[in-house]
Amino acid sequence: MLTPIVVGNWKMNNTIEQARSLVYPMSLKLREIKGVEIVLCPPFPAIMAVSALLQGTDIKLGAQNIHWQEKGAFTGEVAPNMISEYCSYVIIGHSERRANFGETDESVNLKVRAAMEHELTPILCVGETKEEYDSDRTSEVVRRQLNEGLKDISSSKAKDNLVIAYEPIWAIGTGLASSPENANAVLVNHIRPTLEKIFDAETAQSIRIQYGGSVNGANASEFFSQPEIEGALVGGASLKEDDFVAIVQAAAK
Ligand code: PEP
């Protein structure tokens, strides 16, 4: 069994000072929980401050986005080599970036490849809109996002070095989580078989697949009791100490 991974995506929340106030007490509780990989993804300006507070713990840091180039005339962007000193993970292709910042499967693929080149493990987000869900197109959408987003990546690069987050867009930030059974079925029927086709069975088994979308302290254990769900990508609840600690505790059981 793979170690479950719980990722807190803070999105555009918390100044440096607010980040410190959230992380310090939270980390004292999180560091006591064993058997779960914990990753916090603050906004870029808070990464160094949070990193300093996490020294001596196993809690890891991730970024919420990267550019695929190492440097150049890309105003406002952050290169993978600029964060790899602090971060082990990077969220790529979050639906908010796809919907609001023009990210395409092609740019997502460039970012996944750049992350892997710089020893950052990509957390590749896939998931369908409400309209696509209602018209039974979940399979088509997640298969396309995986096939295009993981193009030209070798099995050896992906093995043990890739996380997939299944995030139905209609469940993100809405309080309307998918049913755990539905999420598990998407992983079993569409995501894992697609990974097997892109790579091979052994590599596909080494890739952890998380669920994301309105996970909180109260519903987390239902998701983790599903056989294929190996973690959670958590937005809103990662900004609340008690909720996030409860989610990580549920993953540890
Ligand atoms: C997310 O930001 O990826 C997310 C799943 O948000 P929330 O947990 O708030 O639905």
> Predicted confidence band at 1 (pLDDT cuts at 50, 70, 90)?
confident
Q: What is the mean pLDDT of residues 26-37?
A: 97
140-158: pLDDT as tens digits: 999 999 999 999 999 999 9
Instruction: Find the 73 Cα to ligand 1 centroid distance in Å.
Output: 31
pLDDT of residue 224: 97
Instruction: Find the 72 Cα to ligand 1 centroid distance in Å.
Output: 32
Catalytic-labelled residue, pool 37, 67, 94, 230? 94
Catalytic-labelled residue, pool 37, 132, 167, 230? 167
Q: What is the mean pLDDT of residues 166-185?
A: 97
214 lines ligand 1 (CB under 6 A): yes
94 is a catalytic site residue: yes
pTM for the full predicted model: 0.98
Phi-psi region of 122 (alpha: psi -120 to 50; beta: other; left: phi over 0): beta
Query: Where in the chain are the domains?
Result: 5-252
Nearest CA to ligand 1 atom 4: 235
The DSSP-derived string for 99-168 is HHS---HHHHHHHHHHHHHTT-EEEEEE---HHHHHTT-HHHHHHHHHHHHTTT--HHHHTTS-EEEE--
37-76: pLDDT as tens digits: 999 999 999 999 999 999 999 999 999 999 999 999 999 9
pLDDT of residue 52: 98
Instruction: Report percent pLDDT > 90 for the chain.
Output: 99
Q: Ligand 1, residues 10, 130, 170, 215: which to mutate, most atoms within 8 A of Cβ?
A: 215
In a 3-state reduction of DSSP, which class is residue 156?
A: helix
In a 3-state reduction of DSSP, which class is residue 231?
A: strand
190 is a catalytic site residue: no
pLDDT of residue 182: 97
Instruction: Report percent pLDDT > 70 for the chain.
Output: 100
Give domain 5-252's CATH architecture: Alpha-Beta Barrel (3.20)
Q: What is the mean pLDDT of the chain?
A: 97
181-196: pLDDT as tens digits: 999 999 999 999 999 9
Strands (E), the chain: 5-9, 37-41, 60-63, 89-92, 121-126, 163-166, 208-212, 231-234
Instruction: Find the 101 Cα to ligand 1 centroid distance in Å.
Output: 17
In a 3-state reduction of DSSP, which class is residue 181?
A: helix
Report which of 38, 13, 17 is spatially closest to residue 88, judged by C-alpha positions.
38
Spatial separation of the C-alpha atoms in residues 1 and 16, rounded to whole Å: 37
Instruction: Find the 233 Cα to ligand 1 centroid distance in Å.
Output: 7
Which ligand 1 atom minimizes the distance to the CA of 171?
A: 10
96 lines ligand 1 (CB under 6 A): no
199-238: pLDDT as tens digits: 999 999 999 999 999 999 999 999 999 999 999 999 999 9
Q: What is the mean pLDDT of residues 103-112?
A: 98
Q: Ligand 1, residues 41, 91, 97, 234: which to mutate, most atoms within 8 A of Cβ?
A: 234
Is 169 within 8 Å of 95 (Cβ atoms)? yes
Q: What is the mean pLDDT of residues 122-147?
A: 98
178 lines ligand 1 (CB under 6 A): no
